[in-house]
Each structure stands twice: as structure tokens, then as C-alpha cells.
Amino acid sequence: MVQASTLTQSALLTTLFAVCCQGAAIDPRSNDVVSVNFEVSYRDALADDDSVLGGSAFDKRSKDEPNRGYIKTDLKHRKSFYTTQLKIGSHKEKITVVVDTGSSDLWVPSSEAKCLEDSKCRSEGTYSVEKSKSSKPLNQPFSIEYPDNETASGVYVQDSVEIGKTTVSNQQFAVANTSTAGMGVLGIGLQSDEQTKDNYVNFVFSLKKQGSISKAGYSLYLPEKEKKSGTILFGGIDEEKYSGNLTQFEVSSDKLSVPLQSVSYSGKDNKNETEAIIDSGSTFSFLPSGIVGGIADALNGSYSDSLGVYVVDCKNRGKKSGYLSFNFENDTSIMAPLSHFVLRLKQIKHHVPDYEKNHCGLSIFPSDDETVLGDNFLRSAYISVDLEDKQVGLAQVKHSRHHSYKSL
């Protein structure tokens, strides 16, 4: 995923748990749903001068039981990522982690972790293998590097992991002894993308194995810009949160991706067929250079070599600036407000000359290596992920206070 190289720390937890028959809709007013209050705290973080690119985790990215349903966890958005709080081990140590569709491992910082490059890697909670009576060291090394050069390394262990009111026992995850990141990560991507030679049962599959959900997967509902709160629904979808069809696409790689064909704006269709990674941990989106250049031309934008950003008129931040149409296979299109992709330069880059701080730029960056659909796109889409059948569902988001839950 793509995000800021200096991570924002947010703390939030809201969890709902529900039980249902597979495929059956659930009345959200029934006693099968339990709501938990949450607290929110946050600090701003902007992209470093040297890191605007990325593509995963930070800035860049048993048998079915028909009487089981899904787990719903509310998330708090702060600029570039979504976080939730876990409780780990016999002492239920509280640790805030980034929820990341762009990676597949859960890792948390050790209480003795060495924070590198001035990161505050222990500030959002830590875990001690020695203090937890339920821990089991696995003596397997762990190491991960994200596209923005954030790193973490340590060892794998097993212990209990609680999210909301649901606990997974003997969950395998990594404990980082060194890290350049601001907090740990709950990777919820495909098992084939885990940082091990032999795939293990990761967190989402563990929820199914223990019977908490009927299928290993989830749906993702990101917020409108003003509300800054989103929801991940493990094991199910909310049919009130999208309009039209939820089109299913087969995933052809180790990353959760969808077949993007073109992006249209102002009557011009900018074509370039590519597999686009769905990345909840990415602040911005990264598209083929021809597509980004076509959008910038339509906005009379100019590329700044010094900033690495297309500079455009700030009037494009208004509600009347129109929509970008992201066009996928199977006649599926997502309409996203242009205003979601136009920011003040100081919101995109950390170091901006004073005379340019109030100017604006496109928060879509050219990348002919890897295409990433980050937060600024995902706010307009409803996403479902089936990790077992390796499918990603895509539909136009519908912001609604109502719910209609259904198992995957």
C-alpha cells in the first residue's frame, strides 16, 4: 500500500459481532449484533520529501458452520490509513495496528523493539513474549520491507489475539525486534503473499477455522471525506453500502487486484489495461503515466520536477469539478469525485516552498511499474474480498446509515 513514510498514529476501536446463516440477510436491529463504544485520538502525518511512492503496508501496501456469520470492526481514518486495536496475549496488551489489504502478515512491535530512523515504533502499544503465559515462540525469522522502504524484522510466535469481542487462540504472528515503522500491521491479503516459505493460517483464515465467520473474507466500506470513519466486515457484506451489482473479479496474482482498463474525465478516455492493486494502506493512487498525464492535461496541469507532482488549479477541489470514471472489465465503472484527488501541495509533500504551500496538486502519481488504487479511490468504491476463492468484488459505494448484512 502507499502511505506516508512517517506514520500517523491513530487509536480507535469499535467492534460489532454478528451470527447468521450463510447467505442469509440479517436484521441489524436484532440481538445478533453487539455494538462496542470507541475512542478516537490522532495526530497528522505528511509524506516525506523523499517518499511519495509506495504500494503496500505503509505508503507506497476447517469446515463451514452454517450457523456462523461475520465480525464487523469499525476503523478510524487519518489521512493515509485505517487502524484498529488488538489485545494480545494473556495480559491482553493493547496494540493499535494498521489494517492493510496490501500485505498478509500480522506483526506487532516487541516491548524491547529498537526503533530505527527516529520512528516511534513502540508508541501505539507493544507485546512481550516473556510476559504472556499463553505465548509460544516458533523460532522462525520474520522480515518485511514495504515499497516506501519501511521495514520490520523479528520472529514468529503464537498467542491469543482479540479484536473487539472475538478472540483467536494460538494465532501465528510476528513480533518485531527492529522497525522503522510507526506501528504494527494487520495484513489481510492473500496467504500466498505471507513472508514465509510455507504459508500459515493467517488472521482472517483463523476467524473461519474457529467458527467465528463462515468464509475467509471481508468487505471494506471507507468513509466519505468529511466523516473519516470506515468499516471492515469480516465474513460478510453490507448490501446497503453499495448500489448496482457487486461485480466479482478473479485475482490472478499474490496481490488483491482488479482489471483496470481506463480512466475517463471530461469526455476523454485515457486507456491502459493493467491489474490494479486494492490497497487500504495507501494514501494515494498510482496509475500508468499515460493515464495520469491525460488527466493532468485535461486540468491544464503541469509537472513539477522538484516536487514530483502534477500541479493543478485549486478550483478542482470544488464540488462542481466533476468525476473521474474508473473503468474495469465486465462493464464495471466507479465514479469518483475529482476533488478526492486534488490536495494542497503541503498535504502531499512535507517540504514545500512557502510560495507554493497553498497551491494544489494531483494525488494520483505516475507509475508504470505497479498500479495501486489507494484511499482516494476507495472512498468511492465498496470492496468485498473472498480470500478462499481469490475474488475481489467491486461496486459503487452508497453512503447509508442503514444495514443489510449477508455472509460472503
Active site residues: 100, 279
What do you get for the CA distance between the two ends of the chain, in Å? 24
Rounded CA separation 247/26 (Å): 22
Quick one: which of 226, 157, 172, 245 has its CA closest to 204? Answer: 172
Cβ-in-10-Å burial (0-12, 13-18, 19+) of 226 comes to exposed
Q: How far apart are CA 257 and CA 186, in angstroms?
A: 18
Three-state DSSP at 23 gives: coil
Cell of 186: 494487520
Closest CA to 11 of 105, 111, 85, 103: 85
Query: Measured between alpha carbons, how far is 243 from 225 in angstroms, rounded to an integer?
Result: 19
**Are the C-beta atoms of residues 391 and 249 closer than 8 Å to each other?**
yes
The three cell numbers of residue 94 are: 493493547
Distance CA 369, CA 109 (A): 31
